[in-house]
Amino acid sequence: FLSIFFSNCIVGKCDEVLATPLSHTAFTSSSVYSGGYGAGYAKLNRRGGAGGWSPGDTDRYQWLQVDLGTRKQVTFIATQGRYSSSDWTTQYRLLYSDTGKNWRPYRQDGNIWAFSGNSNSESVVRHDLQHAIITRYVRIIPLEWSEEGRIGLRVEVYGCSYWADVINFEGQGVISYRFKMKKMKILKDVISLKFKTTASNGVLLHGEGQQGDYISLELKRSKLLLMINLGSNQYGSILGHTSVTSGSLLDDDHWHSVIIERYRRNVNFTLDLHTQHFRTNGEFDHLDLDYEISFGGMPFSAKPSSGGRENFVGCMEGITYNGDNITNLVKRKKIDTSSFRNLTFSCSETHSFPLFFNATSFLRLPGLSDSDTLSVSLSFRTWNPSGLLLYTALADGVVEVGLTEGKVTVYINVTQKKNMRIDISSGSGLNDGQWHNVYLHALENCAMLTIDGDEASTVRTVIPIQIRTGGQYYFGGYFLRTNTPPAQRSFQGCMQLIHVDDQLADLVAVEQGNMGTFENVSLDMCAIIDRCVPNHCEHRGRCSQTWDSFSCSCNGTGYTGATCHTSVYEQSCEEYKHLGKTSGTYWIDPDGSGPVGPFKVNCNMTEDKVWTTVRNNLSPQTSVTGSDLEGKAVLQLNYNMSTEQVTAIMGSAEYCEQHVAYACRMSRLLNTPEGSPLTWWVGRANERHFYWGGSGPGIQKCACGIERNCTNPKYYCNCDADQTRWREDAGLLVYKDHLPVSQVVVGDTNRAGSEAKLTVGPLRCQGDGNYWNAASFNTPGSYLHFPTFQGETSADISFYFKTSSSYGVFLENLGNADFIRLELKAATLVSFSFDVGNGLVELSVRSSTPLNDDQWHRVVAERNVKEAVLQLDGHYKEVRPAPPQGHTRLELYSQLYVGASGGQRGFLGCIRALKMNGVTLDLEERAKVTPGVKPGCSGHCTSYGQHCRNGGQCMEKYNGYSCDCTLTRIVTLNMSWYFFFQLYTSLSSLLPTEGNLTQEELVFSFSTSNAPSILVYISSRTQDYLAVVLRNNGTLQIRYSLGGLREPFTIDLDQRNMANGQPHHINISRQERNVRLQLDHYPPVSYTLPDDSDTQFNLVKTIFLGKVFETGQIDPVLIEKYNTPGFVGCLSRVHFNNIAPLKAALRSGIVAPVTTQGILVESNCGASPLTISPMAAANDPWHMDSAGAVFPFNEERVSRDGVDQNSAVIGGIIAVVIFTILCTLVFLIRHMFRHKGSYHTNEAKGAESADCADAAIIVNDPAFTETIDESKKEWFI
């Protein structure tokens, strides 16, 4: 959801010169050094007068002011020193105002910003404002100046015109915008307005409907509260009320901009350029409003329950509602405004004159001397819990009013005859940033303290003393040496409406120097900052603040760090396993610093893969009773976590499952084969699903329907037979995108005699793909690139690396000037460097041992507005606090580079589990299409081999490792083992990780009388494969797909029917592009892969014999033409690169490294192929001339006319030699491998337990949705 909104400004360039065209009278200043130094000469690049403005005094109370005539949009500012002089300003502050009063300082990155100025008198220094300002008056306050001379300044202001219709609200009038139709059903809203006020409460807009929908925007304790309800139901199961708070200190009488953009349930709520994105509660999308929407207060048609809320007092401008300019309609009298007593289109002036105090400020005001009554009142706002508000000396004693732990305390100390101290206090939590009023009245024998005008809570005390005032009152601080110094030394905050002796102090006279004195007080300005808005404390951390800083309390959040950014928990059960933990219940946080919070799961670490279990509240064998109005029984399942948390687990898991069981008696389930389903379950995204455990999406069947063993073969579920005996349909749901089960709707339990019991097991997920997501960088110039990293105010980066190099850049992202970089700088040194505009910051952590030891090491880096942290291997750490003032936003524009950077030394080695702000970067996918980078990484066993216990052997994998718990020897090759394959029989074996093959050899024998079929299929973790198939006519075809070609490279042997029941022997070997093929006793023939073809067989995975049961993207030609019904016959002597899967199938006492589907029988069917004399070339269907193939291994050709009389003799000799060599090889291989370890697979979960081929398809490919046609006869009975 995204929209772009323009309001009250000119679209296009906004860089007009605004100050230079003005007259001299538009420039004013605090003072002038002499006649030629006046403010009117302070125009950029002008030399009139003395060449610029210089004040009479050189201190921080000086200012230069420009009146732009009308409100303008200001976008940047430029300064010079005084022409040809030693006078210039090196640092200044920018104030702005619509009225020339109540000034507002320009803020950036959460602070009152100080602009850098000039270093000489002639150069121009320009600053683009991070956010444009709307103002009429601009005031520049010099903070630092030339050490060689005085303050000197010439200035230019750039921007453009600005206009807006303004309406003044006095608290009575309300604008009611009537709709054209009585009822509006609104899917999309765009509402915008600007307001300014001195009131802390008031309704800005409100609309509601009779059905309970509403939208309301109001000020509440100087914060903006947006409330939306798109609808709730009468039963209370759907609650639509949503409230969001934004901003703070909005009663400052300055303009604030609001934009509300809604599309369905998605809302953007923007206040002063800070946007909050949220989704409304409930399930409805439309906002149903009746009659009208009101601005400035509650509509007259509002429900009585909506009353009691104050109307808005202040000014609004630029009110628009869904494209209609409300302020313009009001001005044109198109809207009824009769509720206004006096409708005006200009803002009324306020009479407040605020004062801004810092730690070294004080204000002295005169009062009556020797009076027997002390009467003082003031309003203040602050964040500090303690501070001095007032100090005055009596004729004999002192009176001190201050804040102590958020309450107002008064100390009266009188020493007429003896020391007497009277303490009174009132209020609590007064350091909340709101305006609070304090009134102290003391006279003889009595003192009263009132807070916020609440007479009922006034504190009165009897004081047996006589008051005699001293005549001088100090506000905010007192720094003179006295015998009785105040307990509180300073106040930091704002004051206004100061009364002394019941008279309002004339602070304008103080500013003009006509009354009282002050020091370091900013007059006519309240620049208090709420450092907790926006809240930098993440994950529900609680923000607290003082005058110049904030802190976060992370207790109970599950996060830690200066801003509660970093999770204290691991991200998966897999990580706990590698920390040496055992099975149990653990807190996990799958997205780390992301928005999904931590939660408890059960971790089962007893198997090679770690299982994560999430339980629900449904008891096993829950009886299904009752029904709704539609005759359905609805069972709602709740998990001990949110939907987002469950989704986070499944997003990183390699496999998930959930067991469901429906026990029935006269209660049908799916109503198969042709009826509408009576029962269904609801999964993720609230979608209904009409398949049951053991089946798959799109197949309205139960497990028995897939396996063809239902109680009644006419039905696809046991329960659909509608029998009076108890039956059950049970199985696993394994399609991740549909899990978990959140609701089950049962529709056939309302008949007489119908009974059902439901079981929904826990959600179980296996593996953590994010933890093992890795890439190998093989050349110094290789890198992966990703979109720009978005971590402006908060960023965390974590990853594992291993290398044998002593240097290299892990990652880098650049901006115009900002950047962030992580680097291995030396064999023992890791560096984290960045620049957010305050200069280079570099953190370094040194290890006591070398990091280039080819072991895994973990790096964690974090940077936020409070600090930067670098941690290595959980032991070595450096923390660097952020500067109290300065830039805080990291602005990056380039792509994120992983593994190298421009001009830097590239990284050589492996990086895995790279996570940035809770998001795992998919290194493997990028590596697949990037030269010099390979997906995955080897060498996991060097770091994690110790986790294989009890003598288990660590086995390297493409994305991790596994533990081989079998015997550490391998059986020798045995040429006498043969296996008979029946229909639907398949044998598959996971191949050991050998990286990317550039050469391989496949040897096997077979005999069959059936075609078509797949003899051998070797798959990979990419789309590369090698397949040997029998076509319909019994001829052989070899298919190579190594990438680079649109279609696989095929070798067709069209001259002979190989499905003749005779045994045949095939030998296929490849080296780079050269493929060598030998069939039976015929001479080998060579072929060459096309130039466009790749030469690497990437990441070989599994060898399938007889039939393919693999999921994922498989060549459709193989599946459609050759995979059905399957191979029937004999296979023997199969080995691929010295791996012999058939032998492993009969290894007794050891877990076999193969998976068998169907019936596999040891047999003597594999007699050796017939040995016959070579044919003459003229009669040999296998003969090819040199145009079609090259025969590098057979230099002597068979003559074309078949006259060679010695061919039979030569053939016999060759056969004897080959036989001798083979026997020798057999002996050597048996000798070499007699002590070798056996080899295991990680076949898809559940395939080994399937009873038939179709069940295996569903288990191995849960997304398989093709309806299985019975006419294909693929059911195993």
**For 897-916, how does the pLDDT look when each residue is reduced to its tens digit (9 = 90+)?**
999 876 667 899 999 999 99
**988-1047 pLDDT, tens per residue?**
777 765 567 888 899 998 989 888 999 999 988 888 899 999 998 889 999 999 888 888
Distance CA 468, CA 682 (A): 81
Residue range(s) in the chain whose domain bears CATH number 2.60.120.200: 166-331, 367-419+433-455+468-523, 774-942, 978-1232
Amino acid at residue number 232: S
According to the model, what pLDDT value does residue 845 have?
96
- Region 224-247: mean pLDDT is 85
Going by the DSSP 8-state scheme, the letter that residue 1122 receives in this structure is: I
Q: What SS3 class is residue 976?
A: coil
According to the model, what pLDDT value does residue 1108 have?
86
Count the neighbouring beta carbons within 10 Å of the beta carbon of residue 289. 22
- Region 1078-1094: mean pLDDT is 86
Task: Give the CATH number of domain 774-942; options: 2.60.120.200, 3.40.50.1100, 1.10.1060.10, 3.40.50.740.
Answer: 2.60.120.200
Whether pLDDT at 329 is above 80: yes
Label residue 1110 by pLDDT band (50, 70, 90). Answer: confident
Label residue 1240 by pLDDT band (50, 70, 90). Answer: very low
Label residue 1208 by pLDDT band (50, 70, 90). Answer: low
Q: What SS3 class is residue 1027?
A: strand
Q: Does domain 367-419+433-455+468-523 have CATH number 2.60.120.200?
A: yes
Residue range(s) in the chain whose domain bears CATH number 2.60.120.1000: 611-766
Percent of the chain with pLDDT over 90: 52
Q: Which two tokens stand for residue 1078?
A: 């030998």
According to the model, what pLDDT value does residue 228 have?
96
Cis amide linkage into residue 740, ω under 30° from 0: yes
According to the model, what pLDDT value does residue 1244 have?
43
Q: Which CATH code is given to the segment(s) 978-1232? A: 2.60.120.200
- Region 183-201: mean pLDDT is 93
- Region 760-768: mean pLDDT is 92
Whether pLDDT at 1261 is above 60: no
Its sign, for the CA torsion 429, 433, 434, 438, is: positive
Residue 64 phi/psi, 5-degree rounding, is: -120, 130
Q: Which fold has domain 551-604?
A: Transcription Regulator spoIIAA (3.30.750)
Whether pLDDT at 1188 is above 50: no
Label residue 1060 by pLDDT band (50, 70, 90). Answer: confident
Q: Which fold has domain 166-331?
A: Jelly Rolls (2.60.120)
Whether pLDDT at 86 is above 80: yes
**1141-1152 pLDDT, tens per residue?**
877 666 655 555
Distance CA 294, CA 258 (A): 16
> Which of the listed ranges 407-421, 1067-1081, 1168-1182 does the model predict with the highest average pLDDT?
1067-1081
Its sign, for the CA torsion 10, 14, 18, 20, is: negative
Distance CA 584, CA 605 (A): 8
According to the model, what pLDDT value does residue 553 have?
95
Distance CA 784, CA 781 (A): 10
Whether pLDDT at 1202 is above 70: no
- Region 227-231: mean pLDDT is 93
Q: Which two tokens stand for residue 714?
A: 């006419």
Distance CA 285, CA 230 (A): 6
Label residue 1231 by pLDDT band (50, 70, 90). Answer: low
- Region 853-876: mean pLDDT is 93
Label residue 461 by pLDDT band (50, 70, 90). Answer: confident
- The contacts found for 699-703 with CB under 8 angstroms, 24 or more apart, are 699/1258, 699/1265, 699/1267, 699/1268, 700/670, 700/672, 701/670, 701/672, 702/669, 702/670, 702/672, 702/729, 702/731, 703/729, 703/730, 703/731, 703/1255
Q: Which fold has domain 16-161?
A: Jelly Rolls (2.60.120)
Distance CA 426, CA 737 (A): 60
Provide the edge-to-edge strand list for the sheet that holds 633-636.
633-636, 743-746, 680-682, 688-689
Going by their DSSP bridges, the two strands 287-295 and 202-208 should be labelled as antiparallel
pLDDT, mean over the chain = 84
According to the model, what pLDDT value does residue 843 have?
95
Q: Smallest Cα–Cα separation from 496: which of 468, 475, 520?
A: 475
Percent of the chain with pLDDT over 70: 83
Q: Which CATH code is given to the segment(s) 611-766? A: 2.60.120.1000
Residue 39 phi/psi, 5-degree rounding, is: -65, -30
Predicted TM-score of the model (pTM)? 0.69
